[in-house]
Amino acid sequence: KDSKSGLALTSLVPYRQDSCIALASQPMHQRSFTQKLHSFMNGCEYRDRVLTMDTMNPNVKRVEYAVRGPIVQRAVQIERELKMGIKKPFTEVIKANIGDCHAMGQKPITFFRQVLALCSYPDLLEDSKFPEDAKSRARRILQACGGGSLGAYSTSQGIEMIRQDIARYIEQRDGGITCDPDNIYLSTGASDAIVTMLKLLVSGEGMSRTGVMISIPQYPLYSAALADLGAVQISYYLDEDNCWSLDISELRHALQEAKKHCSPRALCIINPGNPTGQVQSRQCIEDVIRFAAAEKLFLMADEVYQDNVYADGCKFHSFKKVLFEMGLEYSEKVELASFHSTSKCYMGECGFRGGYMEVVNLDPEVKVQLTKLVSVRLCPPVPGQALLDVVVNPPQPDEPSYDTFIKERTDTLATLAEKASMTQEILNQVPGIKCNPVQGAMYTFPRIHLPPKAILEAKEKGQVPDMFYCMKLLEETGICLVPGSGFGQRDGTYHFRMTILPPKEKLKIVLAKIKEFHQHFMEQYS
Amino acid sequence: MRVGPSVEKCGQMRFITAEAKASAGRLDGKMREKTLTMDTLNPQVKAVEYAVRGPIVLKAGEIERYLEEGGTKPFSEVIKANIGDAHAMGQQPITFLRQVVALCTFPELMDSPSFPEDAKWRARRILQGCGGHSLGSYSASPGVECIRKDIAAYIEQRDEGVPSDWENIYLTTGASDGIMTILRLLVSGKDSSRTGVMIPIPQYPLYSAAISEMDAVQVNYYLDEDNCWALDINELHRAYQAAKQHCQPRVICIINPGNPTGQVQSKKCIEEVLHFAYEENLFVMSDEVYQDNVYAPDCQFHSFKKVLYEMGPEYFSSVELVSFHSTSKGYTGECGFRGGYMEVINMDPEVKAQLVKLLSVRLCPPLAGQAAMDVIVNPPQPEEHTFKQFHQEKSSVLGALAEKAKLTEQILNSVPGIKCNPVQGSMYAFPRIFIPPKAVEEAKALGMQPDMLYCLRLLEETGICVVPGSGFGQKDRTYHFRMTILPSIEKLNVLLGKVRDFHISFLKEYSGLEWDEI
């Protein structure tokens, strides 16, 4: 076949996508006339595309991820419009849609960044401006890397020394309950590990298809992953009237219903809650574990906000610890994967995509399969692994960086606590907004009352009512929030998620603007 | 027979993981019934195989630990030639790249006089593109905007003016991530309408693993070993026609320069592939992560994008093409940073929106990797201070690689029973090895592939870890292994010498022949 005939055109036709007109005079080799004609009728198309909405993976189409959904795309557009000088009733877009600490002005922990800089550019080990404790950690990390470089692949499960450090950290956190480094898998952020575990769990067809229980409201990574994997989502509702607590009878009810059409095999818990901010009591965790044991459910505990607990009387309890305190009957039986990340807590290092999971009671053969599966992606980013190592192995009281480290950490967490209570207070002053206490995590998920007229108008526009609300808020104030519908909520209730991360002064302004907007919105639609 | 006990033990392990031993859990009375077992595990996960980090590498790890604990072997260290891991093999990072990454990581260093201004300038620019001027913030899911623009400019320059739109650039977590994502979009249909994916054999096993995981249909086209692993267009037609009987071939994947085969495709060959894709309505995925790794003097890298444009508008405005690049290979070898990008051409705009959505679920690729990518596409220019050192480091790495490519080919071809094509590019040799029938039989009795037996024995006896050809795919009854050419020249010399000695004694052992008869 003569593949070169097209080549002759090169010199004639400029490199322009829209030069199709020029083609009319060109030879139509090797395609049937009708095909060509058809192509020309479709404008610049010479053949049908291979990948279209009709032919693409239907599971991918079903995926939804509101945290970076249409509202965020519109926010980016508005930012560009502002840059181009288009007038708006505001001067900047405030992206309160995502828990992105540094983007909101939170400063990195100095010690962590020192260690990472030393690892990235080891010539700095000679620089006297870097403290010795940072240098000793960097040396230790580099020694564990192939060729002493962050640029080498690590083993797929993660650098062994770092897994050992993580295991020690978990043991300390959990009051001495043992942790085996072989049960630790480093990951590319917690999201990666969660998707990997779900991938293992999904099987069966029809009635035997895996069902996965997730809380509503949930962090939409879960619903997105389940859609992508073609698993069945089983929703259990958190109790908004009871500070978004988890109610065991609701779990039971959801499970019984689900058993009619799928095979429920996993239960996902987010504690502290995202987007709901509740911190689970020890009692609640015990009940969940008992339920999982009785119903043979694989437990997935998303504990990325474990250091973000603000409310008096609340404390973080790890699922692992509670499980082991419940005795052998449970601790030898219940399969558990728990997840952690460098992105949240006091470090907020989202961009490094560091994270890990600990698996407990995983079938040894399945563990081999897990290791194989993660090996296809080679390894999690090594800078993220290094960062995680310093997070679990921070400066000790006898080390030079200790005081600065503690001060930075305490300041960040104290500010977050202050912002959590401020957010709740101000929002609850607004008639038509009701906000549960932000006990932990980084978000508030207030319920908003929307007048029937607004709901009607939203429906006419083909929008979910709280999307309509958030879009309007964005257009009028530049504040970008995520509608509650992106996380799931009880029918007829409406919410939004906003992060509490902006600096205090900015947060005050954001909250005042929301207050004003909401009042105006209510007036407009009632 | 002198097969070591550890080889036998390995033979009993499940190398073909698809053959799940579902009964194992049941046999062990002490084991409680679990929710997640080999019975209930996602069957597609079971089917995944990834030889580059497969059983042989696990075995190498075991031996390493055994040596560390004071055990003795006929060698003192394990040499992992199984993977293209440049830094692990002693290659030094490019100073300038690491300076920029360090500055981005710890911006206080901007005040340090020991960092060059051109590195500081780049770091400042990258940080300005980051939320809160920190590598610790999430980026937009397709990547930092100014980095996408730099990549587009780089591609335009590489392709001598062929335009590149920065909005077609998506940063990824290594190239693997991009390849998986695009395949995920493409997989649909049931039975005879199920997506078929054409991949070269031998291939980089990421492809077969991804295809298994997504339950797509793997359509093999064989590279021509007798013709320096060239891609034969007739073979593409054959494979396509055969596959059409049972699936719907919708994608063709090309690896150029080749992995594990090291060939560099001619422009004519690329034109033929693109024409074929055009004719048969195939989506083209071109894996070009080794684009800077071309050693043979008569070879040159041609990007699919450029060739497509040169074929004229009928082609460049219709053929859907995604090409992949990475920080892990080239002269930087920064595997650990997991940096990479893909350029997407002619994708349906609605599908593109779906792609962005899919990427957004994982939030963003690691920022340090994005920063490293930026330095690669925006390296020091001749008028900059750092240019001389940068250029010297770059040419020294690429010069050494070219030398090692040649050395490897020469030494391997001097061994009776080993035949190695020229390593024109990339980072591997994939020599064909003669395995005597007796050894083949023995392997079968042990339930393993003959080249797995060969590689395990090589590992046990010499400490050298290479990957059996069966992990990449090969014509029936031919056997190969993949080894990387990355070890330092001295070490590579030693390694190749050991491979030669091993091979000769292996032949002797299994064919009962004396040295001069071989």
- Map B38-73 to HEC letters: CCCCCHHHHHCCCHHHCHHHHHHHHHHHHHHCCCCC
Cα–Cα distance for residue pair B353/A54, rounded to 1 Å:
14
Comparing alpha-carbon positions, the chain B residue that sits nearest to A149 is B87
Burial of A139 (0-12, 13-18, 19+ CB in 10 A): middle
| pLDDT confidence of residue B37 | 83
> Cα B283 to the chain's mean position, in Å?
20
Q: Which residues between 47 and 106 in chain B have a beta carbon less than 8 angstroms from any beta carbon of chain A? A: 48-50, 52-54, 61, 83, 85-91, 93, 98-99, 101-102, 105-106
Give the CA distances from residue A77 to residues A85, A92, A94, A478, B21, in Å, rounded to whole numbers and listed in that order: 13, 12, 13, 11, 54
Cα–Cα dist A305/A323, whole Å: 19
CB distance B88–A228 less than 8 Å? no
Rg over alpha carbons for chain B, rounded to the nearest Å, is 24
pLDDT at B42 (0 to 100): 81
Contact partners, residue B133, CB within 8 Å, separation at least 6: B107, B127
Mark yes or no for CB contact A116/B105 under 8 Å.
yes
Of B501, B509, B511, B515, whose CA–CA distance to B2 is shortest?
Answer: B509
Q: Which of A191, A304, A353, A385 to mutate to test the interface with B (most CBs of B within 10 A)?
A: A353
Report d(CA B288, CA B294) in Å as an integer: 11
* Preferred mutation among A5, A153, A196, A219 to probe B, highest tally of B CBs within 10 A: A153
Q: How far is Cα of residue B453 from the mean position of the Cα atoms in its chain?
A: 23
Q: Chain B within 8 Å of A142 (Cβ-Cβ)?
A: no
Q: Is the pLDDT of residue B383 over 90?
A: yes
Residue B300, pLDDT > 50, answer yes
Burial class (CB in 10 A: 0-12, 13-18, 19+), A447: buried
User: Please, which residues have CB within 8 angstroms of residue A260's CB and are 6 or more apart in sequence?
Assistant: none
Write the Ramachandran bin of B70: left for phi over 0, alpha for psi from -120 to 50, otherwise beta: left
Percent of chain B past pLDDT 90, that is, above it, reads 81
Residue of B334, B363, B366 lying closest to A384 (CB–CB): B366
pLDDT at A24: 37
Residue B392 pLDDT > 70, yes or no?
A: yes
Mean predicted confidence (pLDDT) in B10-30: 38
Cα–Cα distance for residue pair A489/A482, rounded to 1 Å:
13
Q: Which residues of A touch B279 (CB under 8 A)?
A: 1, 30
Nearest-CA distance A200 → chain B (Å): 5
Rounded CA separation B265/B424 (Å): 10
Distance from CA of A493 to the nearest CA of B (A): 25
Strands B481-484 and B467-468: antiparallel
CA distance A228 to chain B (A): 9
The crossing angle, in degrees rounded to 10, of helices A110-120 and B95-105 is 180
CB distance A152–B85 less than 8 Å?
A: yes
Q: Name which of B175, B172, B211 is nearest B194 in CA terms.
A: B211
| Whole-number CA gyration radius for chain A | 26
* Helical segments of A219-363, H only: 221-229, 248-258, 282-294, 319-325, 328-331
For the domain made up of B103-377, give the CATH fold. Answer: Aspartate Aminotransferase; domain 2 (3.40.640)
* CB atoms A224 and B361 under 8 Å: yes
DSSP annotation of A232? E
Question: B 143-182 residues with CB below 8 A of A?
Answer: 161-163, 173-174, 176-177, 180
Cβ-contact B373, B98 below 8 angstroms: no
| Whether the Cβ atoms of residue B344 and residue B319 lie closer than 8 Å to each other | no
Q: Of the candidates B35, B137, B338, which has its C-beta nearest A265's C-beta?
A: B35
Cis peptide before B257 (omega within 30 of 0): yes
User: Which residue in the set B106, B161, B283 is minimally distant from A114, CB to CB?
Assistant: B106
- Tell me how far apart the alpha carbons of residues B221 and B130 are, in angstroms, rounded to a whole number: 43
Nearest one of B124, B96, B125 to B109, comparing CA atoms: B124
- Cβ–Cβ contact B322 with A under 8 A: no
Instruction: Kindly give, in sequence order, each residue whose CB lies less than 8 Å from that of residue B372, ignoring residues fewer than 6 positions away.
Output: B97, B101, B327, B332, B334, B337, B339
Chain B residues lying within 8 Å of A335, measured CB to CB: 34-36
Domain boundaries of chain B, sorted by first residue: 51-73+390-511, 103-377
Least confident of A205-219, B2-16, B263-277, B503-517: B2-16
From first to last of its 526 residues, chain A has per-residue pLDDT tens of 344 333 333 333 333 333 333 343 344 444 444 444 444 444 444 468 888 888 888 888 777 877 777 898 899 899 999 999 999 999 999 989 888 999 999 999 999 999 999 999 999 999 999 999 999 999 999 999 999 999 999 999 999 999 999 999 999 999 999 999 999 999 999 999 999 999 999 999 999 999 999 999 999 999 999 998 999 999 999 999 999 999 999 999 999 999 999 999 999 999 999 999 999 999 999 999 999 999 999 999 999 999 999 999 999 999 999 999 999 999 999 999 999 999 999 999 999 999 999 999 999 989 988 998 898 888 999 999 999 999 999 999 999 999 999 999 999 999 999 999 999 999 999 999 999 999 999 999 999 999 999 999 999 999 999 999 999 999 999 999 999 999 999 999 999 999 999 999 999 999 999 999 999 999 999 8
CA distance A126 to chain B (A): 11
* A423 and chain B in contact, CB less than 8 A: no
CA triple A48-A52-A55, angle to 5 deg: 100
CB B48 within 8 A of CB A372: yes
The H or E element spanning position A434 is strand A433-434
User: Facing residues of A410 across strands?
Assistant: none
Q: Which residues in B lie closer than 8 A to residue A225 (C-beta atoms)?
A: 361
Q: Which residues of chain B neighbour A52 with C-beta distances below 8 Å?
A: 348, 350-351
**CA atoms of A378 and A81, how far apart (whole Å):** 41
Tell me, what DSSP letter sits at residue A183? G
Sheet order of strands, A443-444 included? A443-444, A496-499, A482-483
Rounded average pLDDT over B428-435: 96
Name residues whose C-beta falls within 8 Å of residue A492's C-beta, 6 or more positions apart in sequence: none
Q: How far is CA B326 from the centre of its chain?
A: 10
pTM of the model: 0.88
Locate all alpha helices (DSSP H) within A377-449, ordered by sequence. 382-392, 402-428
CB contact under 8 Å between A51 and B320, yes or no, is yes
Contacts of A221 in chain B (CB under 8 A): 361
A150 and chain B in contact, CB less than 8 A: yes
Cis peptide before A452 (omega within 30 of 0): no
Determine the Cα angle at A249 with ends A244 and A250, to 5°.
55
3-state secondary structure of B171: strand
Structure tokens at A407: 């001060």
* Buried residues in A175-189 as b, exposed as e (16+ CB within 10 A): eebebebebbbbbbb
Domains, chain A, in order of start with CATH, read: 63-92+410-525 (3.90.1150.10), 112-392 (3.40.640.10)
Would you say A63 and B358 are in contact if contact means Cβ atoms under 8 Å apart? Answer: yes
Nearest beta carbon to residue A335 from set B36, B49, B357? B36
pLDDT at B355: 92
Question: Which residues of B are less than 8 Å from A381 in CB distance?
Answer: 173, 336-338, 366, 368-369
Mark which residues 335-394 of A lie under 8 Å from B by CB. Answer: 335, 347-353, 361-363, 365-366, 368-369, 372-373, 375-384
A469 to chain B, minimum CA–CA distance in Å? Answer: 22
Task: Output the pLDDT for position A47.
Answer: 65
Distance of CA B62 to the CA centre of its chain: 24
Q: Is the pLDDT of residue B3 over 50?
A: no
Average pLDDT score over residue span B263-279: 95
Which tokens belong to A489? Answer: 């909520």
Residue B1's Cβ-count burial label (10 Å; 0-12, 13-18, 19+) is exposed
ipTM of this predicted structure: 0.87
Judging contacts by C-beta atoms under 8 Å, the chain B residues touching residue A57 are 184-188
| Residue A202, pLDDT score | 92
**Model pLDDT, residue B514:** 54
Contact in structure between A389 and A137 (CB atoms under 8 Å): yes
- Contact between A113 and A351 (Cβ < 8 Å): no
B316: tokens are 């460049």
Q: ω into residue B74 within 30 of 0, thus cis?
A: no
User: Could you give the CA distance from residue A251 to residue A299 in angstroms, rounded to a whole number?
Assistant: 13
Q: Answer yes or no: is pLDDT of B27 > 80.
A: no
pLDDT value of residue B513:
61
Note whether A50 contacts B283, CB cutoff 8 Å: yes
Give the H or E element holding residue A46: none
CATH architecture assignment, domain B51-73+390-511:
Alpha-Beta Complex (3.90)
For residue A425, give how far its alpha carbon lies from the nearest alpha carbon of chain B (Å): 27
Q: Which residue has the tokens 């926010």?
A: A75
pLDDT of amino acid B262? 94
Give the closest of B313, B333, B335 to A9, CB-based. B313
Taking the alpha carbons at both ends of chain A, their separation in whole angstroms is 71
Query: Residue A338, SS3?
Result: strand
CA distances from A460 to A488, A491, A523, B266, B387 (A): 21, 18, 20, 58, 61
The position carrying tokens 């693409």 is A56
Instruction: Please answer yes or no on whether B314 and A6 come within 8 Å at the CB atom.
Output: yes
